Every structure is written in C-alpha cells, then in structure tokens.
Chains A and B, each alone.
Chain A
Amino acid sequence: MNSIFTEEKPEILIQEDGTRIDGRKPDEMRPISIEVGVLRKANGSAYLEWGGNRVLAAVYGPREVHPRHLALPDRALIRCRYNMAPFSTEERKRPGPDRRSIELSKVIREALLPAVFVERFPNTSIDIFVEILRSDAGTRIAGITAASLALADAGIPLRGLVSGCTVGKVGDWLVLDVGHEEDMWGDADIPLAMIMETKEITLLQSDGTLTPEEFREALDLAIKGCTYVYELQKEALRRPYIAVEKEVKGEE
C-alpha cells in the first residue's frame, strides 16, 4: 500500500548555471524565522521555521535526575530526545523512536554538550527535547539551532550559542542548505554545527563521496551558512526585550 506515497526523482536537480530545483542559487539559504519562549511549562523553548521545516525545541533543567542512579556526581547529565511527529512526513511515521532518531538524539546531544557549563550543576539533568512537526531536510541542524536557543531561554550557562547549516553536492555544484530533493537524490550531504564565538565545531557528518578539495570547500561554505544562522539566533533572543522596550516607550 506504499505505492501511493512513492516519490519520483525529478529530471533535473540543478541547472548548468547552478540554479537549483527550488530556484535558489548555490549559496542561497531558505527562509528562516525563529521565536523564543513559545511554551510556558518548559524552562526554555524555541520554535523555528526553516524552509518547510517546523521545529519545536524545549529544555527542562537543571532538575533532579530520574532515575537517580544516572546522576553524575560532578556535572549535569545532558539528555536529548529528537523525535519526528507522525504527521511530519508525507507518509505517516509510526510514533516512537526508530534507529535514525536514536542516532540523531545522540548526535544532537554531542553537538550541544560542549557549549554547556555542566560542572555548575552536579547531580542534575538537563533534558533537551527536539520535536520535528514538519520535515523538509536539515531537521537535525534545525533542531540544534532551536535547542541552542531553548537552552539560552532556560538560563542555562553556555559558552555560546550553537549554530548549524548543511552543505550538499549536487552534480558539479556545492550547495548551501540542502533542500528536500537534494537530500533524497543529491551526491553528498554534510551537516555542520559550531559554537560561533569560540569557532569550535561540535557536529560534523558526511554522507556521499567528496574529494579533499570539495570537502574543504564544503566546510568553508557551511561555516558561512552558520554565521548567517547565528545572526538570526541572536536577533530572536533580543527581539522580545526590544519589543517590550518599544512598548513601554510608546506608552510614556
């Protein structure tokens, strides 16, 4: 019964002049919009739209660890759950963790952990939740970008924000911010995330064949993308305070 959901490979993924299937130039990113503090119960949260992605990230913590025996005596335990909603994909995805989401949960945790001052909260846990409500390629990077803001929103001490981006290889071109079709049928996919202020790379994966030159070029391009994402993250954190200031000034 899955025949009704099969996708067909598009005839042309990228044109000779580098125009991509969604009309973007090779170094053009999809639209991103971010809102911090969208949930009330969570200690910190962020909602992010990136192309067709819709991502909700939330943080609880530091808080008591349950079960107790997992607590670390000298630092906070960082736990992360990446989950795709059943309605996030074309064909409904059965609820619950699968192998992919388990790997991504680990990879996202390892992308965020270096940014957190875990030594400040021994015997506690900091729980990060990334829910993909709608999936459109680059969900782990979108999740990290949102989760980083959720951590800041929760007031958890951070070395800096973690920003991410993907680079792909489609035909002869390296493209920034891989789209859905490029993800399905392109030649390589490289997600990268880093703490921009300290220039430390905290997530790097690659899938596909690249020459060493292509790889280096791809990393440079990804870092350019991360720099752009970082500016958007900072603006999102500042926005509510600036809005309140405008409001108050308007009243006076």
Chain B
Amino acid sequence: MKKSASSKAEFFVKDRELVLPGQALAKGSLKPDKGVYVDEEGVVRSYMVGLVEISNERVGVIPLRGGYVPKAGDLVIARIEKMSQRIIFADINSYCKAIMIVPRPEPRRGGRRHSLLAKYEALAPGDVVLAKIMSYDGVSNPLLSIKGEGLGKLVGGSLIMIEPSKVPRALGKRQSMLQVLKQKAKCDIIIAQNGIVWINSNDPKVIGAIEKALRKIERESHLSGLTERIGQLLDSLLGRKS
C-alpha cells in the first residue's frame, strides 16, 4: 500500500495493473475518474475489467471490455436503416440508434448548402456513412451529422469490427498506431470510435493482414511495445522488410 506524500490517499494497486469489478483500488482524498465508483466506506473500486490508471490524486480504470457508449464529438461509422423525408435512423453499433436530420433546402444559399443537401439525398437504407455525433444527452437518440470534409457515404472498401474498448489502442497516442497500419497497408484506413474500421482496399491479402493486426491489438492491448510488434507483423504478412 503506497501512501501519497501530499495527501491522505492509500493505494492498493499499482498503475496499469489489471483490475476486476469490485476490486478495491484506493482510499482517501482522491478524485475518482471514469471506470470506478466509491463505496459507503469511501473505498474507490473498479466497476469493470480493465487497467487501473493512477496519476497524482486521480484514479480511474480503462476498460478492456465493453460496447460503444456514444459521446458528442465522436467520429462513427453508421449504417442507414430507416429513412423518412426529414429523419434518418442509423445503426451505430451501440445500445441505441442514432438519428440524422436532413437539412431543409434554403433557396437563398445554394453553393455549400446545396452540396450538403446532395450528400443526404444520395443516401439509401443499407448505405454506410462516416459521421460525427453532434450531441447526446444519454437518454434520447444521439444526433449525427455528415456535414464536414470527409464525412458522408463510404463507397467501396471493406469493414472490420473491433471491440470499441480497444479503439484508443488501435489509434495510438497521436494516431501513431493508425499511421503504422496505413503505411504498411498502403491505403486509407479509418478507425471510428464505435469500433468499426473501414479499409479502402479490395485486396484480400491487405485486408486479411490488417484484420490480423487488429485482432492482435485487441488481444495485447494491456501490454506495452505493441506498436512495434504490429509493425513487424504487418511486414511479415505483407512481405516487406522494415
């Protein structure tokens, strides 16, 4: 048990240790972060399987399992389900559907407004889009938008699903892991926050290699040195020397 020098906090675990639901992590004057709860006796406990993060007087748990929880600002890949004149329902691989509101055509504007409207009008049920979550209050459906550079219908390529809890690892610090994947695959790859990955390739060798790399990231996300190992794996699968 480590006592923090400046305060009365007691830690029962080390930073980056694997912790389980209900496990006691710390006690004392601490700021509980995400992934933890405080019990009646003031003990901070994990509420899931994950890696504990201890910094200064904060303690939180990074989940190693779990589905996608929508958040405003997230980039998601969604599949269009139902469409009416003004509202589109989309599947975002979560416990709720997302909605998009088709903007009204305004005669005065034209130009950009017109091309934005065209983006929406090109959509049909079954289509897959790259979108942004504009807002989500935790109760009603998250609101999506495809306004913005690069957002809109995805054409061609292939989709791979990964565990949403592993997305941060698949992206890496400052997108370092994503860069490795893109460099080795030599094509565009988008990893959306909701656990869906789009690879702009039709070469099964490349897609197969990237899928293997993603599965390895999922399995080893709790270990360090992963970026290097992924680079080596892709080199061996795609027949290149690093």
- Interface residues of A, Cβ cutoff 8 Å to B: 43-44, 61-64, 73, 117, 121-124, 152-161, 195-198, 234, 237-238, 241, 244-245, 248, 252
Contact = CB atoms under 8 A, between A and B. Distances in A.
B22 A122 contact: no
Contact of B138 (A122, A159, A238): A122
B133 to A, nearest CB: 17
B95 A124 contact: yes
A232 to B, nearest CB: 13
A101 B95 CA distance: 28
A155 B229 contact: no
Interface stretch (B64-72, B109-117, B149-157): B64-72
Contact of A159 (B22, B49, B96): B22
Given A154-B65, A159-B22, A244 B47 contact: no
A152 B139 contact: no
Contacts of B23: 197
Interface in B221-242: 222-223, 225, 229
A197 to B, nearest CB: 4
B95 A122 contact: no
14 contacts: A64-B95, A122-B139, A152-B65, A155-B165, A159-B45, A160-B21, A160-B45, A161-B20, A197-B22, A197-B24, A238-B20, A241-B18, A244-B219, A252-B225
A158 B22 contact: yes
B67 A155 contact: yes
Interface in B1-51: 18, 20-24, 37, 39, 45, 47-49
A185 to B, nearest CB: 37
Contacts of B165: 155
Interface of B: 18, 20-24, 37, 39, 45, 47-49, 63-67, 95-97, 138-139, 165, 219-220, 222-223, 225, 229
A196 B22 contact: yes
Query: What are the 9 A-B residue pairs with the smallest beta carbon separation, nearest first?
Result: A155-B66, A160-B22, A155-B65, A197-B22, A158-B21, A62-B95, A157-B47, A124-B95, A63-B95
Given A158-B48, A197-B45, 4 more contacts: A152-B65, A238-B20, A241-B222, A244-B222
Contact of A152 (B39, B49, B96, B222): B49
A121 B139 CA distance: 8
A80 to B, nearest CB: 18
Contacts of A43: 67
Is chain B's interface secondary structure helix, strand, loop, or mixed overall? loop
Given A124-B96, A159-B22, A161-B21, A248 B48 contact: no
A252 B217 CA distance: 16
Given A123-B139, A197-B45, A245-B222, A155 B95 contact: no
- Residue among B37, B95, B219, B220 facing the most chain A CB atoms (10 A cut-off): B95
Contacts of A124: 95-96
A78 B164 CA distance: 22
Contacts of A62: 67, 95
Given A122-B139, A123-B139, A156-B66, A234 B220 contact: no
A43 B94 CA distance: 11
A154 B223 contact: no
Contacts of B219: 244
Contacts of B39: 159, 198
A154 B139 CA distance: 21
A73 B39 CA distance: 25
A152 B63 CA distance: 11
B99 to A, nearest CB: 14
A164 B97 CA distance: 37
A124 B94 CA distance: 10
A123 B94 CA distance: 13
A248 B139 CA distance: 42
A159 B21 CA distance: 6
Nearest to B97: A64
Contacts of A234: 20
Contacts of A197: 22-24, 45
Contacts of A156: 48, 66
Contact of A157 (B18, B48, B64): B48
